């Protein structure tokens, strides 16, 4: 299962920045009333690049655990790979958040996509040379995860500059629709390419998609941060400023903890789905189709998220999302057939998308632009820092205990989380934003 917040984010600076056009100006809160998103040229360019990149990531994303299981026949080793992919959040989030508040966010995103294209291309190259090992794949996922940290924090911090506050829910929902659509198409395509054409092909497709996304930044004119004077400050002091700001925002502090525990209990359910399907003799194409069918739920969630935010309170959306997930996950313990696995995936994608859009669009307007990278890095560290442990633990429990006991452990934890959040008065009574 994807993380609960999946996005699916510096002062000007950095040597040589091809993505920034001369004379570009940042969007400010004083901008006139916005038109529809599709008329925002810079947002549509940013979004289009991410459509291609996200599709490529979903194509290779289903192939990676299949490749590891084919090489090692070990769910535990596959779980370790998933943990390594998110481990960089634990190590790098805080300094990276401060750095993307110093650096040119657009340049950071461009370099990350270029780096990820090269990194992913090394997998099919190693396969062609018959030299691929589990250790290289571990290195690949570590590099991918590290570059994702830079890209993700820069992207989230940049979004309020690319679209005005009133459009943040719509932009967040459209981004989540991108994830959902790519999730609908990518796994089925990836499973088919892996099984029918060759193990290397999904990774070639992903490398090309990163290259296309990197090229899109050359056409974007708007800056991704407000202009502010460069000042020589200690990195540790800047990190503390972000930590302190978030610590004095009780609701945001609670939101970060909720995300972390939610992600811990659900991080390994993609692996549980694959292991359950393989036990029923499903082939790679069928496994890809499970996630593609499930992604329909994510697409519906992205289409309905903004409407749900207008009709329901923040607390109602978050609490409802937790309870729907907590009551659905135990079904895995019954070894459900393929169609039920697909339906469960649809439920989780729907809930996860609504949850993510609500969390992101609620949080971003509260954070000053000069602190976006640092505050989001602290938030994401708390939210994503539990994922490596959850993913690795899932793989170990699957290998040693089997599916049903593993599901029981995480179901109990998620049920306790849902109950605790339901009883939390700050979440239940969270006020609405004036601009949302």
pLDDT tens profile 268-314: 888 888 888 888 888 777 887 787 777 788 778 877 877 887 888 88
Percent of the chain beyond pLDDT 90?
19
Residues 362, 436 contacting (CB under 8 angstroms): yes
- C-alpha–C-alpha distance, residues 12 and 23, integer Å: 13
Structure tokens at 349: 């994608």
Is pLDDT larger for residue 50 or for residue 324?
A: 324
CB contact set of 55 (below 8 Å; sequence gap of 6+): 181, 182, 185, 186, 209
73 sits in the region (left: phi over 0; alpha: psi -120 to 50; else beta) called left
Closest CA to 431 of 210, 250, 296: 250
In this structure, what CATH number is given to the domain that contains residue 78?
A: 1.20.1250.20
Q: Which domain holds residue 395?
A: 39-218+235-428
CA-to-CA distance for 64 and 81, rounded, in angstroms?
A: 9
Model pLDDT, residue 231: 61
- What is the percent of the chain where pLDDT is above 70? 88
Question: Does some domain include residue 376?
Answer: yes
What span, in angstroms and rounded, lies between the C-alpha atoms of 309 and 291?
Answer: 26
In a domain, 14, yes or no: no
Sign of CA dihedral 114, 115, 120, 121: positive
Residue 23 neighbours by CB under 8 Å, 6+ apart = none
How many C-alpha atoms does 294 have within 13 Å on its Cβ side? 29
What pLDDT sits at residue 233?
Answer: 66
- Comparing CA positions, the residue from 357, 351, 339, 358 lying closest to residue 297 is 351
Pick the more confident residue, 30 or 189.
Answer: 189
Confidence (pLDDT) at 227: 65
What's the CA gap between 431 and 186, in Å, rounded?
Answer: 38
Residue 16 falls inside a structural domain? no
Q: Does residue 400 sit within a domain?
A: yes
Give a yes or no: residue 227 inside a domain.
Answer: no
Distance CA 119, CA 201 (A): 15
Which among 258, 255, 247, 269 has a CA at the least distance from the CA of 375?
A: 247
Q: For residue 112, is it within any domain? A: yes
What SS3 state is found at 410? Answer: helix
- Residue 367 domain-assigned (yes or no): yes
Report the mean per-residue pLDDT for the chain.
Answer: 80
* Residue 19 resides in a domain: no
361: nearest Cα among 287, 311, 436, 293: 436
Quickly state the pLDDT bin for 240 (edges 50, 70, 90).
confident
Determine contact, residues 294/348, Cβ cutoff 8 Å: yes
In the predicted structure, residue 181 carries a pLDDT above the cut 50: yes
Domains in the chain: how many in total?
1
Q: Above 60 in pLDDT, residue 125?
A: yes
Q: What's the pLDDT at 4?
A: 43
- Per-residue exposure over 352-391, b if at least 16 CB sit within 10 Å of its own CB, e if not: bbbbbbbbbbbbbbebebbbbbbbbbbbbbbbbbbbbbbb
């Amino acid at each position: 299962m994807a993380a609960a917040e999946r996005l699916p984010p510096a002062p000007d600076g950095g040597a040589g920045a091809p993505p920034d056009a001369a004379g570009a100006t940042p969007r400010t809160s004083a901008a006139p009333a916005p038109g529809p998103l599709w008329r925002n040229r810079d947002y549509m360019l940013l979004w289009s690049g991410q459509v291609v990149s996200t599709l490529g990531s979903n194509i290779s994303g289903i192939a990676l655990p299949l490749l590891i299981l084919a090489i090692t026949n070990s769910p535990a080793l596959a779980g370790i790979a998933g943990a390594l992919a998110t481990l960089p959040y634990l190590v790098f989030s805080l300094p990276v958040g401060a750095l993307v508040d110093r650096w040119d966010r657009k340049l950071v995103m461009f370099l990350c996509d270029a780096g990820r294209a090269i990194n992913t291309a090394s997998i099919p190259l190693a396969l062609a040379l018959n030299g691929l090992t589990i250790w290289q794949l571990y290195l690949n996922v570590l590099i991918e995860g590290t570059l994702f940290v830079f890209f993700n924090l820069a992207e989230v911090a940049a979004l309020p500059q690319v679209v005005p506050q009133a459009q943040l829910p719509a932009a967040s929902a459209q981004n989540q629709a991108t994830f959902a659509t790519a999730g609908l198409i990518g796994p089925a395509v990836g499973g088919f390419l892996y099984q029918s054409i060759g193990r290397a092909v999904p990774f070639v497709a992903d490398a090309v998609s990163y290259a296309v996304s990197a090229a899109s930044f050359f056409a974007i004119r708007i800056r991704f941060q407000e202009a502010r004077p460069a000042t020589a400050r200690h990195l540790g002091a800047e990190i503390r400023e972000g930590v302190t700001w978030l610590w004095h925002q009780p609701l945001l502090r609670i939101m970060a903890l909720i995300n972390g525990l939610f992600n811990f209990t659900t991080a390994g359910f993609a692996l549980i789905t694959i292991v359950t399907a393989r036990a029923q003799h499903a082939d790679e194409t069928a496994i890809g189709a499970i996630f593609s069918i499930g992604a329909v739920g994510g697409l519906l969630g992205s289409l309905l998220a903004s409407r749900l935010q207008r009709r329901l309170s923040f607390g109602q959306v978050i609490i409802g999302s937790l309870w729907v997930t907590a009551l659905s996950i135990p079904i895995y313990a019954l070894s459900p057939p393929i169609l039920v696995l697909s339906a469960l995936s649809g439920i989780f994608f729907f809930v996860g998308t609504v949850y993510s859009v609500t969390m992101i669009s609620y949080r971003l307007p509260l954070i000053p632009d000069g602190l976006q990278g640092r505050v989001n890095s602290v938030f994401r560290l708390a939210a994503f820092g539990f994922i490596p442990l959850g993913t690795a633990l899932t793989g170990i429990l699957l290998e040693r205990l089997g599916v049903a006991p593993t599901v029981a452990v995480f179901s109990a934890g998620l049920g306790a989380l849902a109950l605790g959040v339901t009883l939390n008065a700050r979440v239940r009574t969270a006020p609405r934003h004036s601009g949302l």
